[in-house]
Amino acid sequence: MIPLFAVIGFRTSRQRTFRLWLPLFLVWVLLLPVVLVLFPFFLVGCLLLDMNAVKTISAGWNVAAGLRGMHVEINDPKTYILLRLV
């Protein structure tokens, strides 16, 4: 399953820490028409590069699904960055 939410955290110059929950599923829905429009070009590209389109889509989907659970957190006296995919 691809990530549905992203948690982004950061610290402001006033040392206040914020965490934002971004609904990625809305982004996926918005991207769907773009993907459909670009799909024929993708197929042509696969033909030109002699790549298996189905395997490529499957691998791309696996990478997107594999991102779920990713957690990157950097905590410095000056900086705080958090990225978590749920």
Partner 1 sequence: MTENRRQILEMLAAGKITADEAERLMNALYGNGNSDSRPDSSTMAATTKARPKYLRVVVHDESRDKSPTEVNVRIPMQLLRAGVRLASLIPVQAREQVNNALKEQGMQIDLSQIRPENLEELVDQLSELTVDVDDKHSKVRVFCE
- What is the binding site for partner 1 (CB under 8 A)? 49-52, 55-56, 58-60, 62-63, 65-77
Spell out the residues 6+ positions from residue 71 whose beta carbon is closer than 8 angstroms to its own: 83, 84, 85
- To the nearest whole angstrom, how small is the minimum distance from the Cβ of residue 64 to partner 1? 8
- To the nearest whole angstrom, how small is the minimum distance from the Cβ of residue 13 to partner 1? 16
Within 10-81, where are the H helices?
Answer: 24-48, 53-66
- To the nearest whole angstrom, how small is the minimum distance from the Cβ of residue 16 to partner 1? 17
DSSP-derived 3-state class of residue 42 = helix
Closest CB to partner 1 among 31 and 63?
63
